Amino acid sequence: MNIHPNLYAYEGDSDVSDDTNESMISFRLEKLENLLMKMSKNIDRNSDLYGEFLTKNIVREPQNTLFGEDALPSSEIAGSENAFFPEVRIYNGVSRFIQIEAKSYYIENAKKQSWSGADDKCRLMGGVLFSPQNAGAWETLRMNLEQNKNYWTDIRVNVSFVLGSRDEKAQFLDFDPYSPNRDTCIEIGYKSYHLMNEVHCNTKNYYVCKLG
């Protein structure tokens, strides 16, 4: 009797024994159980990270910021109609939350924003746009980005390369050598294999937020 690689009998064989059928079914069930166990572990890990984010980063719309004397207590923010949370925590089967060097990051892969719009969204989540502090963090982030998408960084051009939210000099840069030096905000561009490019700040891109 010939057995097809997909474990089904073929070429007209019809005398498959009950023992053979039971063996095939047991084998497939075992593979399915192992797969479900792996998926369950990944879901538990992502849920824990998302829960930690919600606990530490309850946020709201820009007119009611989290900073300064006018900031509301978290209990009031949580009940506010303006409270902001990421719309989707899983995108295409992948968690939007990752950890790099003990820090949590949120990767927005669904809705594009201008640089200022992305900056606002990150602030609403209690964070800032991503800016790498060293080569290790930079490479880890790049490995978690979707290949056909551009992402904003927290870097803008203002005489020198600075972080837009804090006016501090950027600690690490890795530019595409063909990037034009004429615009004001820095993206991570997929056409340059996710190196940094200068583009107009009104360009719509996805973005990465550093949280906490």
- Residue 158's domain is classified under what CATH number? 3.10.100.10
pLDDT tens per residue across span 164-208: 666 666 777 776 766 655 547 989 887 777 888 888 899 999 999
Residue-wise pLDDT for 153-171, tens only, equals: 998 876 455 566 666 667 7
- pLDDT per residue over 104-115, tens digit each? 889 999 899 999
Q: Pick the more confident residue, 48 or 135.
A: 135
Structure confidence at residue 37 (pLDDT): 74
Q: Which pLDDT value is given to residue 115?
A: 94
Q: Which domain holds residue 116?
A: 87-211
Average pLDDT, rounded, for the chain: 69
Residue 80 forms part of a structural domain: no
Total domains present in the chain: 1
Residue 172 lies in a domain: yes
Sequence-distant contacts of 83-87: CB under 8 A, at least 24 apart: 83/58, 83/59, 84/59, 84/60, 84/121, 84/124, 84/125, 85/54, 85/59, 86/125, 87/111
Q: Would residue 22 count as lying in a domain?
A: no
Between 83 and 150, the more confident residue is 150
In this prediction, residues 105-131 reach a mean pLDDT of 91
pLDDT in tens, 54-81: 555 444 333 333 333 333 333 333 344 3
List the one residue out of 140, 118, 144, 105 whose CA is nearest residue 199: 118
Confidence band, pLDDT 50/70/90 cuts, at residue 150? very high
Q: Is residue 185 part of a domain?
A: yes
- pLDDT of 120 > 80? The answer is yes
Asked if pLDDT for residue 143 goes beyond 70, the answer is yes
Q: Is the pTM of this model over 0.75?
A: no
Chain centroid to CA 29: how far? Answer: 33
- At 1 the pLDDT is 44
| The pLDDT value given to residue 88 | 46
Higher-scoring residue by pLDDT: 93, 43: 43
